[in-house]
Amino acid sequence: MSDLVAALDPERVQVGDVARRLYSRDASVLRGGRAGVICFPVTTAEVSACVVAAVAHGRDFVVRGAGTGLAGGAVPCDEPVMIVLTRMDRILEVDESRRLAWVEPGVVNLDLSRHLGGTGLHFAPDPSSQQSCTIGGNVANNSGGPHCLLYGVTSAHVLAVEVVLPDGEVVVLGNEEGDSVGYDLRGAFVGGEGTLGIATRICVRLTEDPPEVATLLLDFMSVGAAAETVSAIIAAGMIPAALEMMDQRVVEAVEPFVNAGYPTDAAAVLIVELDGQPAGVADEIMRIGELASTHGARSVRVAADEGERERIWKGRKSAFGAIAVIKPDYYLNDTVIPRTKLAEVVERIYEIVEEQDLIVMNVFHAGDGNLHPLLLFDAREEGVMERVLAAGEEIVRVSVAAGGVLSGEHGIGLEKKRFMSLQFSPADLEVQSRLRAAFDPDGRANPAKVLPSGASCGHVTSLGRLPEGTWV
């Protein structure tokens, strides 16, 4: 600890019980080990010093942002040094002509686009937690968001990253031009979940504001009809900026809060956002209206103004908070399936949840098949956590069996590493392990995450370590 205090200062190195408890969990339902020393660096040099001190004393380290992660990626194992980057929150440079910006990892996602107001530019990745999640966390998990259907997830918007490697060396991966030759180490780093090093400065690509935007609200009397409409829109050659689905329980929960005019008797609603040149947007509005009617939509409403657009989106982005009127806790799953299997898999999710005597609210990125079933529960109820996790596991297995993948944007973390063999062969996992070792041969950076291993901190109890696959 003395080395860390010397590198930072006493006020930015904490070991108090409250702090250690606070930084021992993220927004997931996982309970793991306990944080060791907690550091709050404000410069790249200080981050490097924290890493060097941890390694010198044989300690692991875990990097952490706002703690909004849902896969246990920031849950500490075996009292590591916690390196918290929320105080590195400066927007360092904006180059409007080249459409790029350099930011520190603690910059809140939405704050960057707000900062760009009036420039005609914005940062396209927009996770539902964008009011609180940080760009460093977005880079770690390769986060998505509603508008990533058209614009791509975080990796498509990161040109370069300054990284403190697990031995303390500082390097820059990628470049401002985005055309590095050789191995794409920038691409390997984005989505590494803190296992390959620590991002301390990030060069992001900025996206031009579209000349025209239209937001549509479609409602259906069955989830299947809404899912078929999603497939029909994409099959017709249209890629909306966003294409989101919410089922009836979500609509009932959010409508009293946002007053967006959601039809609360609908089995499902779709939010379709179009952008581009005015003539093209007008044409797509007409075509989507015709497709929706063909597939059983009761109504197709086009937001009349910016205020109505904001209310429609506020409902979608407030869904996770709105569940508090139903149950105090939730487990948010994250898998991706082929669009053609949406209706089939969503119906199976309803069956799984009923079998476990739980409540589910489905709200997800329908355009790219990224499911986000919210399993609602009260953690004070005896035995409920076991049922929740059993339902979550079955949803993962059903999704992969349908031709899907384990995660679309939340990452693997502790939550899904035991399922990696469902999607990847032993050879695949070996290659991933070798890549990780190339960056971190001693395994000090965010250990026990992502790749299958022995029992991990995600399974720790007062009785010691439990076998792999046991949840507590």
235's tokens:
């099959």
What whole-number distance in Å separates Cα of residue 147 and Cα of residue 345? Answer: 23
Phi then psi dihedrals of residue 336, to 5 deg: -125, 135
CA angle 221, 225, 230 (to 5 degrees): 130
How far CA 214 is from CA of 271, 274, 275, 285, 291, in Å, comes to 10, 5, 6, 8, 17
Within 148-211, strands assigned E span 158-164, 170-174, 198-205, 207-208
Classify 364 as helix, strand or coil: strand
3-state class (DSSP) for residue 76: coil
Rounded CA-CA distance 329/25 in Å is 15
Percent of the chain with pLDDT over 90: 88
pLDDT in the model for residue 284: 98
Distance of CA 451 to the CA centre of its chain: 18
Query: 109-129 pLDDT, tens per residue?
Result: 999 999 999 999 999 999 989
Contacts of 395 (CB under 8 A, 6+ apart): 333, 335, 349, 352, 371, 373
Supply the mean pLDDT for the chain: 93
Q: In what order do the strands lie in the sheet with 91-95?
A: 91-95, 100-103, 198-205, 158-164, 170-174
CA dist list (Å): 173 to 4, 94, 233, 314, 430: 27, 19, 38, 36, 23
In this structure, what is the dihedral angle of CA atoms 465, 437, 428, 179, given to the nearest 10 degrees?
Answer: 140
In the chain, the amino acid numbered 137 is G
With tokens 């409403």, the residue in question is: 301
Specify burial of residue 396 (Cβ count, 10 A radius: 0-12, 13-18, 19+): buried
DSSP 23: T
**Confidence at 465, pLDDT banded by 50, 70, 90:** very low
pLDDT tens figures, 295-321: 999 999 999 999 999 999 999 988 877
Q: Classify strands 81-84 and 38-39 as parallel, antiparallel or unpaired.
A: parallel
Question: Residue 233 pLDDT more than 90?
Answer: yes
Q: Supply the pLDDT for residue 462.
A: 28
Residue 16's closest CA among 36, 33, 42? 36
- CA gap 19, 46 in Å, rounded: 20
- pLDDT surpassing 80 at residue 278: yes
Q: Which residues pair with 207 in a beta bridge?
A: 122
> What Rg do the C-alpha atoms of the chain give, in angstroms?
22
CA gap 327, 385 in Å, rounded? 13
Tell me: the pLDDT tens digits for 165-223?
999 999 999 999 987 778 999 999 999 999 999 999 999 999 999 999 999 999 999 99
For the ranges 64-68, 123-127, 320-324, which has the lowest average pLDDT? Answer: 320-324
Q: Position 22: which residue type?
A: L
Question: How does pLDDT run across 420-434, given as a tens digit for each residue?
Answer: 999 999 999 999 999
- Please tell me the distance from the alpha carbon of residue 111 to that of residue 130, in angstroms, as a whole number: 9
DSSP-assigned beta bridge partners for residue 464: 461
Q: What pLDDT is attached to residue 468?
A: 36
Does the structure show a pLDDT above 90 at 453? Answer: no
What confidence score (pLDDT) does residue 97 get?
97
pTM of the full predicted structure?
0.92
> Does the pLDDT of residue 472 top 60, yes or no?
no
- Residue 351 in tokens: 């069956």
CA distance 103 to 159: 12
Q: Is 340 helix (H, G, I), strand (E, B) or coil?
A: helix
| Pairing between β-strand 370-371 and β-strand 335-336 as defined by DSSP bridges | antiparallel
Q: Compute how many other C-beta atoms are within 10 angstroms of the C-beta atom of residue 182.
A: 5
Domains and CATH numbers, the chain: 2-84 (3.30.43.10), 92-208 (3.30.465.10), 212-321 (3.30.70.2190), 327-438 (3.30.70.2740)
**pLDDT attached to residue 461:** 31
What pLDDT does residue 458 have?
52
Beta bridge partners of 205: 100
Q: What is the pLDDT of residues 134-152, one digit of tens each?
A: 999 999 999 999 999 999 9
